[in-house]
Structure formats: structure tokens, C-alpha cells
Structure 1
Amino acid sequence: MTHTRSWTASISAALGLCALMGVLCFHFPDQLTSRDFRATYTEAFARNLLLAGLVASFLLGTLAIVRGRNRRLAALGVGSAAVAVMLGGATVDFDRIEPTPYSLGLDWFVISLFFSALVFIPIERMKAVRPMSPLRPEWRTDLAYFFMSHVLVQFLLIAVTASTTAIDALAPTDRLKPLVHSLPLWAQFLLAVLCADLAQALLHRAYHNVPFLWRFHAVHHSSRHMDWLAGSRIHIGEILMTRTVVLLPLVLLGFSAEALNAYVIMVGLQAVLAHANLKLEFGWLEYVLVTPRYHHWHHARDMDYVDANYAIHVPLVDMLMGTFKRPPRGTWPEEYGVIKLETVPRGLLRQALLPLRPMQYHDDYVGAEPARRSSAER
């Protein structure tokens, strides 16, 4: 059996597993799909997407097997798709979805992963800072983070909303809210971006300068490869803290739902784009918007940038904080990751425990040389 890497086998496996999860969503929509996300797509769209995934998984997997390329991986794709078909495929019927207090966002994970990969993998191959396979070292770890943050989206939202609502009830901002709400939508959006980015940048700087907080944030900076998936590597504790701090000024100031929705869309796009492996030059726009090069330097293993470029939306925030640092034109970091690699272990579970333990050095750490790695990536 040959172990030659095969794109057709890899895509077949990914689509087959996603299709299987999609079928499970149809069987258990109350428990496995996000109520808020369900409102953004139709049942017909979900069924057609599932059918396309099943067909593509079968065809690509069969082709890889016939060609003798990664037959085990291709068999995983074909097998997963076969199980999905036996469970009903795109024809699963379900009754009216009953409201439930809690549910997982498995549909949000599948659809978001599909379209993110569909968009970013091709453009990263065409305009890469460093050419590399999507299956680069530790991709499984980052995919696990991507899975956790999407599947647990409702629980994270409940926790963040509860804390911000409690603070809002105590804050004397009732006179300010009507004033903000009366602004034109475009003005509300720009103000929301500035307020949220300033709040996040202040917390972001605290992550870097308060040792206890750094143990949460070190997980995010531990990625040795920057691409569209790397930005998902965030400790769940940091997600809760950051989203609470960012949402709080938006709630206290009373921005309209339309302005908040526009901001959320911008966050989703820019957070992925800022980490993407895209060698694009934006010229003077680097003074206006946070671009991949601007944020890549924040992730550099370079002492000159450990306290710089904290903004995630607009560099104006860093200018106000005195942490703005525009790298020389056309330059990109030579290396990414925390300065002391040995302080961050590899794998989601061990990284989840990192803030609960005193700082220590690990044998199996992020970016370790092959001779020092464990036999399997966690």
C-alpha cells in the first residue's frame, strides 16, 4: 500500500466525515443544530449541500483507491459517506424542531468548515507567504479548536450574554443609549468597531503582560504556522474573557441590532483573514485596517514585536495605545510562535490545562523537532 499524499483522498475523507455529521444533524436537529444559525439557511440548502458532499466523497474516494493513493484515507471517506447514506443521506425526514434550552452547533461547524476551506485553501496556495500543505504540522490540533469553538457556540453565547447583561443592569447608561441608537447605521457600525477593538486591544495587552493571563493567551501564540485555521487555536477561557470584554461596551452603549450584526460579520471575516497565509500588500490601507502582514508580525518570534500591534480591526487603536509598529514594506516574520516554545505543550487537552498549572518546561512542546516529538500528534 502506497503512502503517497493524495488530495483526492484527503478531500474525500473530509467530505465523508462532514456528510456523516450533516446526516446526524438531520436526525437530531433539536440537540445538534444551533437555533440562531438555523435561521440563516434553508432546509433545501442544507439537503443540497449534503447531497453534493456525499457524491463528491464517493467519487474522489473511489478515484484515489483505484489510483492506489492513500487508500486508507480514501476508504475512510467512502466508508463515512456510505454510513451517511445508510442513515438516510439527504432524504432524512424530521418533524418540527422543538425549542430546547441547550443545543450543539454541529451544523455551524460543518458549514463553516466547508466554506472556509473552499475559499481559503485555494487562495492561500496561490498567494502564500510560505507555501505549505493545509495538512501542515499540528493541523489536527487547530481543527480540534475550530470544532470546539463552533460546536459549543450556544454555551459560550449564554455565558457571555449572562455576564454582560448582569453588568448592564447595574451600569447607569440609560441616557447614553438613546443617543447612540439615534446615530445613522454607518456611524453606529464605525463607532462599534472602534469601541470593541479598543476594549479587546486593552485586554490583549493585559494577556501579554499579566503572567496568569498570558498562560491562557500563550495557547493562541503557540501556533508555528500561520494560515486560516491557525486563528482558531484559542483557549476556551480566553474566548469567554475576550467576548465578554468586547461585547460589554457594545451592550452598555446600546448599539442597534443591525450595527451589531454588521460588526459580527466583520469580526468573522477579519479574524480569519488576519491569520491567513496570504502574501498581499495593502499599501496605505495598512494604516486603516489590520491586514495579514500587520497581524502576522504580532505573532512573530521577534522580541521587537512582542508588545506591538494588538488591534484586530483598526491600527488606530494601536496608535492611541502607543503600540503601533508597521514593519518595513514587503517583510514577513521568519518564524512564528511563543518566544519560549518549551513552555507550551502540544495538543488541545494539555493546552487546556496550561493556565491551571505553574509555568514549566515540556518535553513534547509546540514545534519540537521530530526526534523530540511523541509518536502521535495529540
Structure 2
Amino acid sequence: MCHPLRRPYLRVMLTKDARLLPHTACWFGVLSLLAVLCFHFPELLTSQEFRPVYTSGFARGLLLVGIIGAFVIGTLAVLAGQRRPIAFTGVVAATVAVLLGGSSIPLGEIEPTPWSLGVDWFILSLVFSALVFIPLERYLAHRPHPVLRRGWRTDVCYFFLSHVLVQLILIVVTTSTTTVAAAIAVDPVKELVVGLPLWLQVLLAVFVADLAQAVLHRAYHRVTSLWRFHAVHHSSRDLDWLAGSRVHLAETVLTRSIVLLPLMVLGFSTPAMNAYVIIVGLQAVVAHANIGVRFGWLEYLVVLPRYHHWHHARHVDYWDRNYAIHLPVVDMLMGSFKLPRDGSWPEEYGVLRLETVPEGIVEQHLMPFRGDRGYERHVA
């Protein structure tokens, strides 16, 4: 008699993608293990700026859910015969997390440190982004593709790198802009800006930052040496909430420095700057999301998925269009606005010459320094 979990229709009920169940168990286990390490080494592994956002009780509860999830989902995947080694990895990682103390690890006062890794930022961002966007993209996708689509491993590596190194990136960006901003800032202008109502400061900050980013973005496309870095971001062949993380670290530092500079020169208040950081983080994810909803006139007011997807289109007519990340009016002012009125979406994404971008995060980080060449293992 066939085991109940081996019946085809029950396996389909468990998951539409046979890889999703074991990989979910694996990620639950690995993230749980990383969370336990954060409790053991909070000064080294947790971001000093991000710690005040959550409580230790919340973190313990989330860790307990992760451990239980790894055991339950991993067991189901093993019984269903779905990629058992991957599912078993998650169960083993969760077991190690329990042996290291699980959710009951005592946590004393965390001493301030000059720098630390943002493993906690990575865990919470990945978990809650996945919880929000995977269901949305599952049911509202304009072009359905598996959750574990091609290139997802590379994009998870970029997601990990950008979040874990968040404080280091912030230090480099702040250091590179503070001195310049202090030298060219005009005090009367700063006093005028900081005296504006907070809501107006936020709107103005979004516009100024978007204009600075769009000008630099155009340079990325038109200057060959800069394009080699930016081509990494455009190499994604499928767009979703995770694809926006594929950005070369050098581009991340340069873009954030150029965007931060005018905001510091004009003297926006700290609350306004913090609000902008939240907005840009959310909109960058939404703009790349695989959400095929028509937003009507809003698409001409705010950058939404269809607008930015056309910027990523593997189409020569859109290679030099739609640079804004917040406001389409910025592209209208720059003469780079282009959006089909018929509501259509791109048929294909990626760089025009696919063979010029290799696969994998290491090769892609080395690519800009190797000149214009082709690769045997490329993103096609």
C-alpha cells in the first residue's frame, strides 16, 4: 500500500513547487541557527542601529517559530521524498540551534561597539519580505514563475551581503560625504530647509534624492566603465522582490554617497532623513516586485512595478528610459520617461548582451575589472 504522503495528489497539495518545501525547511533551520548565534554574540553579529527596533522577547518568539517550522516542514519534506538532503540540512541546523540554547539563551546588556555585522537585520528583513511578497507574487504575478526561479541563489547571496554589511556600508558612505557636505553647505539654506514642516521636508527629500539618483543612474547606462558595475543589477532574467538586491557593492556605496550628499548639504532634519530611508527601502523592493496590478493614473505619479520593469526590459527602446526610483516626474524633466499606454509589460528582462555578465556573485563582482569580454557561463 502506498504511503499517504507519497500519493501524487497529496504531494501537490503540500506544495506546487516540489523544491519549495525542503528549501523552506532548510532556510528555517539555517536562519534559526544564525539567530541563536546572534544571541550568543550580539555585539559582533547584530546591528547597533537596528537593535532598538525589536525586543528580545519578539526575537525569541520568532526563533522558536523558526525551530519548530524547520522540524515540522523538514519532516514533511523527508516523508514526501522531496529533496531529502536539503530538508535534512534544515532539521540538522535546527537541532544544532536547540543544542546551543534555542530560544532560552540568557541575554545580558549589550556593550556598544565601533562596528558590527547586521545578521539580525538580514534575518528579519528576509523573513518578513518573504511573508509579504511571496504570497502577493504568487497570486498577483504578471508573469508567473516559481518562487525558486533561476538565479534565486545568487540574489539571496546579494541580499545577505547587503544586509550583513549594512553598518560597514553606512560608515563608508557617511565618511565619504560628511567632509564634502560640510565644505559646500550654506547655513542659511540649511536653516530654511530644517524649518520646513516634516511632511514637506520628506517630500522635498524624496524629490532631491530621486533627481540625484536618476542623474547618476543615467551615467551608469552611458559611461562604459560605470555600466560594467550597473550591468550586474540588470542581469536578472526574472524580476521579483528579491531581484532588486542584485547590486554590485561598489555601486551600492557610490549610489548611496551621491544620493546622501545633497540631502546633507541642504540640511534635512534627522526625522526627514530617516523617513526617506524607509521610503527608499520599501519602494526599491516594490518597484522590482512581480506584481501585475494596473494602478491607473498612479503609475504616472509614483514609480510602481510596471514602470520600473520597463527600465529592466531587454529591449533597445527602453535601455535609456525610466531612471527614477520614486517619481516619474523626474524622468519627465530629464526627457527619459517612457511607459506604454496599453498596460503592457516587457516580454524579457536582462542586459542586451547576455554573454557579457557571468553567473554567480563572485564572478559578477570581478566582472567590472576584467574589461569587455564574454563568459561561457553567463546569465542567459
Global fold match (TM > 0.5): yes
The offset of 1:6, in angstroms, is: 4.4
Corresponding residue of 2:256 = 243
Note the 1:164-313 alignment, pairs <5 A. 164-313=177-326
Corresponding residue of 1:376 = none
Matched AA of 1:366: V
| CA RMSD, Structure 1 to Structure 2 (Å) | 1.3
Distance 1:6 1:355, change over 3 A: closer
Matched AA of 2:309: H
Work out the CA distance in 1 between the residues paired with 2:291 and 2:147.
Answer: 13
Work out the CA distance in 2 between the residues paired with 1:273 and 1:252.
Answer: 29
Q: Which SS does the other structure have where 2:239 is aligned?
A: coil
Matched, 1:339 2:352: yes
% same residue: 59
Matched AA of 1:100: T
Matched, 1:34 2:27: no
Q: Does structure 2 conserve the Cα–Cα contact (< 8 Å) formed by 1:294 and 1:327?
A: no
Matched AA of 1:327: P
Deviates more, 1:165-174 or 1:139-148: 165-174
Note the 1:97-112 alignment, pairs <5 A. 97-112=110-125
Q: Which SS does the other structure have where 2:66 is aligned?
A: helix
Work out the CA distance in 1 between the residues paired with 2:139 and 2:185.
Answer: 52
Corresponding residue of 2:14 = none
Q: Does structure 2 conserve the Cα–Cα contact (< 8 Å) formed by 1:345 and 1:364?
A: yes
Work out the CA distance in 2 between the residues paired with 1:240 and 1:130.
Answer: 32
Q: Does structure 1 conserve the Cα–Cα contact (< 8 Å) formed by 2:20 and 2:148?
A: no
Q: Does structure 2 conserve the Cα–Cα contact (< 8 Å) formed by 1:228 and 1:275?
A: yes
Note the 1:35-184 alignment, pairs <5 A. 35-184=48-197
Matched, 1:21 2:39: no
Matched AA of 1:60: I
For residues 316-368 of structure 1, the C-alpha deviation after alignment (integer angstroms, 9 at most, x for no partner) is 1001101011123220101000000011111111110111121101111112x
Work out the CA distance in 1 between the residues paired with 2:81 and 2:221.
Answer: 49
Matched AA of 1:200: Q
Q: Which SS does the other structure have where 2:371 is aligned?
A: coil
Q: Does structure 1 conserve the Cα–Cα contact (< 8 Å) formed by 2:182 and 2:265?
A: no
The offset of 1:277, in angstroms, is: 0.6
Q: Does structure 2 conserve the Cα–Cα contact (< 8 Å) formed by 1:224 and 1:335?
A: yes
The offset of 1:64, in angstroms, is: 1.6
Work out the CA distance in 1 between the residues paired with 2:124 and 2:37.
Answer: 14
Work out the CA distance in 2 between the residues paired with 1:69 and 1:223.
Answer: 27
Corresponding residue of 1:326 = 339
Deviates more, 1:2-11 or 1:263-272: 2-11
Q: Which SS does the other structure have where 2:79 is aligned?
A: helix
Corresponding residue of 1:364 = 377
The offset of 1:68, in angstroms, is: 2.1
Work out the CA distance in 1 between the residues paired with 2:337 and 2:151.
Answer: 31
Q: Does structure 1 conserve the Cα–Cα contact (< 8 Å) formed by 2:115 and 2:167?
A: yes
For residues 66-95 of structure 1, the C-alpha deviation after alignment (integer angstroms, 9 at most, x for no partner) is 222222121111111001000111111132
Work out the CA distance in 1 between the residues paired with 2:186 and 2:164.
Answer: 34
Q: Does structure 2 conserve the Cα–Cα contact (< 8 Å) formed by 1:297 and 1:332?
A: yes
Work out the CA distance in 2 between the residues paired with 1:295 and 1:49.
Answer: 33
Work out the CA distance in 2 between the residues paired with 1:59 and 1:90.
Answer: 17
Work out the CA distance in 1 between the residues paired with 2:26 and 2:148.
Answer: 13
Work out the CA distance in 1 between the residues paired with 2:19 and 2:262.
Answer: 48
Unaligned residue ranges in structure 1 (runs of 5+) = 368-378
Work out the CA distance in 2 between the residues paired with 1:184 and 1:348.
Answer: 43
Q: Does structure 1 conserve the Cα–Cα contact (< 8 Å) formed by 2:193 and 2:201?
A: yes
For residues 92-113 of structure 1, the C-alpha deviation after alignment (integer angstroms, 9 at most, x for no partner) is 1132111111110000001100
Work out the CA distance in 1 between the residues paired with 2:139 and 2:256.
Answer: 33
Work out the CA distance in 1 between the residues paired with 2:217 and 2:19.
Answer: 40
Q: Which SS does the other structure have where 1:36 is aligned?
A: coil
Normalised to the residue count of structure 2, the TM-score between the two structures is 0.94
Q: Does structure 1 conserve the Cα–Cα contact (< 8 Å) formed by 2:185 and 2:266?
A: no
The offset of 1:306, in angstroms, is: 0.7
The offset of 1:168, in angstroms, is: 1.4
Q: Which SS does the other structure have where 1:245 is aligned?
A: helix
Work out the CA distance in 1 between the residues paired with 2:334 and 2:343.
Answer: 25
Unaligned residue ranges in structure 2 (runs of 5+) = 1-5, 12-16
